[in-house]
A and B are shown apart, each in its own frame.
Chain A
């Protein structure tokens, strides 16, 4: 084999160009050919997390059997679309969707599941919270993250942490207060507090802020549902009164 002068400038330039082109082609082919599979995996994960937020097991109760309607709200609580494919298209980039004023929601017979998005210590955190039909009681929550520290901030993904949220409420009277992760341990009787993560204070603060900010986007929808429920109650009370008078 002829020996090249591997230190000549021409050789180095040709070598770099060929190397960059080969690597670029390799990575593009891999990325393009695997994209659809990766997207499907991500979609399935989202659906599983939505089911988990409602406190069901996705293996037994698949997404399609429990979610009756997926919608996107605008800032006033009007429905922009209720086509499932379009809703998941919006879910692809939740951060961008929130900024553009598009707020996805997943309705079930037993409540509604809302996506959450916020900032942890090292990167984004997100999740889903399921509220009961009264738009106040938490049925369950799923939290996820991309880069929180294992054993510290990443503990928000554990079942033990997420179980604390069940039964808490996000409204104090008419005011939306969300749920706060309390450093040093929550007051068990306070319906808006859960324990923060030891050694994960920044992540815990991020989760508190994420819950309040994300739920605030859905305030018009909550108000509409709560007003309708209250009106119904008044109506049935009036009906009862009339019946009593007769």
Chain B
């Protein structure tokens, strides 16, 4: 893989991250990060959708009338998501049950349309596909970081496994209590803010003058 292709993949992980640099997809980052498992599932699904919608739109890019391109993008993305949902329901029912809530959220995720509009319409298919994978990974990374703190501090578990023993809790005679606000969406927004703060203090070039 050439260094240019590699850049499409790794750029969105930090320097051009869709969530903490482009500030896209915040809404779903608040909704699905109470636990680690749905965050991972959502991250992977968005990655698949951005990759394939980028690929399809890049293949179509020379024929799409500029005046209705947003509508075309929306149709392609929605059709892809519905198709994937139907196939999952027929062949891997358990996974589709896991995803049920998020399928609708994927269509409305600003990262998907943002990448199609900003990248796929002006680049070759392979580069667009890699860009989709990269941005999906960058999104998943932030989701996992937020979900890690929210699940650990909010319910004392990770991926459903209990890390903080039951006997530590106050109602079992211990001294510990879960941080209830971690379960609510505003805390995710505060965590996103903290991540952006930490990220920018390490990357001076991202700081606004």
Q: How far is the CB of A42 from chain B (nearest CB, A)?
A: 8
Tell whether A4 pairs with B67 under 8 Å between CB atoms, given A151-B155, A152-B34.
no
| Candidates B64, B71, B87, B183; contact of A151 at CB < 8 Å | B183
Judging by beta carbons under 8 Å apart, are A23 and B63 in contact?
no
State which of A7-15, A59-67, A71-79, A94-102 sits at the interface with chain B: A7-15
Judging by beta carbons under 8 Å apart, are B79 and A26 in contact?
yes
User: Given the complex, which residues of B lie within 8 Å of A27, measured CB to CB?
Assistant: 79, 82-83, 86
Judging by beta carbons under 8 Å apart, are A152 and B183 in contact?
yes
Nearest neighbor of A24 in chain B, beta-carbon distance:
B79
User: Given the complex, which residues of B lie within 8 Å of A237, measured CB to CB?
Assistant: none
Q: How far is the CA of A67 from the CA of B146 in the complex (A)?
A: 45
Q: How far is the CB of B173 from chain A (nearest CB, A)?
A: 15
User: Given the complex, which residues of B lie within 8 Å of A85, measured CB to CB?
Assistant: none
Q: Chain B interface secondary structure, helix, strand, loop or mixed?
A: helix
Tell whether A26 pairs with B83 under 8 Å between CB atoms, given A6-B64, A12-B65, A16-B68.
yes
A198 interfacial contact with B, CB 8 Å: yes
State which of B3-11, B43-51, B89-97 sits at the interface with chain A: B89-97
User: Given the complex, which residues of B lie within 8 Å of A45, measured CB to CB?
Assistant: 93
Q: How far is the CB of A156 from chain B (nearest CB, A)?
A: 14
Judging by beta carbons under 8 Å apart, are B63 and A12 in contact?
no
Q: Chain A interface secondary structure, helix, strand, loop or mixed?
A: helix
Q: How far is the CA of A19 from the CA of B78 in the complex (A)?
A: 13
B154 interfacial contact with A, CB 8 Å: yes
Nearest neighbor of A157 in chain B, beta-carbon distance:
B97
How many residues on the B side are at the interface (Cβ–Cβ under 8 A)?
A: 32
Q: How far is the CB of A161 from chain B (nearest CB, A)?
A: 13
Judging by beta carbons under 8 Å apart, are B93 and A41 in contact?
yes
User: Given the complex, which residues of B lie within 8 Å of A20, measured CB to CB?
Assistant: 75
User: Given the complex, which residues of A lie within 8 Å of B68, measured CB to CB?
Assistant: 12, 15-16
| Candidates B65, B82, B101; contact of A6 at CB < 8 Å | B65
Interface string of B64-82 (1 = CB under 8 A from A): 1111100110010001001
Tell whether A34 pairs with B63 under 8 Å between CB atoms, given A15-B68, A146-B100, A199-B183.
no
Q: How far is the CA of A34 from the CA of B86 in the complex (A)?
A: 7
User: Given the complex, which residues of B lie within 8 Å of A37, measured CB to CB?
Assistant: 90-91
Tell whether A7 pairs with B65 under 8 Å between CB atoms, given A34-B89, A41-B90.
yes
| Candidates A7, A30, A34, A38; contact of B66 at CB < 8 Å | A7
| Candidates A7, A34, A42; contact of B67 at CB < 8 Å | A7
Q: How far is the CA of A4 from the CA of B64 in the complex (A)?
A: 11
User: Given the complex, which residues of A lie within 8 Å of B38, measured CB to CB?
Assistant: 150
Judging by beta carbons under 8 Å apart, are B89 and A41 in contact?
yes
Judging by beta carbons under 8 Å apart, are A6 and B63 in contact?
yes
Q: How far is the CB of B183 from chain A (nearest CB, A)?
A: 5
Judging by beta carbons under 8 Å apart, are B79 and A199 in contact?
no
B128 interfacial contact with A, CB 8 Å: no
Nearest neighbor of A30 in chain B, beta-carbon distance:
B86
Q: How far is the CA of A20 from the CA of B72 in the complex (A)?
A: 9
User: Given the complex, which residues of A lie within 8 Å of B150, measured CB to CB?
Assistant: 151
Q: How far is the CA of A146 from the CA of B83 in the complex (A)?
A: 19
Interface string of A132-153 (1 = CB under 8 A from B): 0000000000000011011110
* Interface hits, A27-66 → B, CB 8 Å: 27, 30-31, 34, 37-38, 41-42, 45
Q: A37-B91, A150-B35, A150-B38 are in contact. List 18 more A-B contacts (CB 8 A).
A: A15-B63, A15-B72, A16-B71, A26-B79, A27-B79, A27-B82, A30-B86, A31-B86, A38-B89, A41-B93, A150-B32, A151-B35, A151-B150, A151-B154, A152-B34, A152-B183, A198-B183, A199-B180
Which residues of B are in contact with A by a Cβ distance under 8 Å?
31-32, 34-35, 38, 63-68, 71-72, 75, 79, 82-83, 86-87, 89-91, 93, 100-101, 150-151, 154-155, 180, 183-184
Which residues of A are in contact with B by a Cβ distance under 8 Å?
4, 6-7, 11-12, 15-16, 19-20, 23, 26-27, 30-31, 34, 37-38, 41-42, 45, 146-147, 149-152, 198-199
Give 11 A-B contacts (CB < 8 Å), ordered by A residue: A15-B63, A27-B82, A34-B89, A37-B90, A38-B93, A41-B90, A150-B101, A151-B34, A151-B154, A151-B183, A198-B183
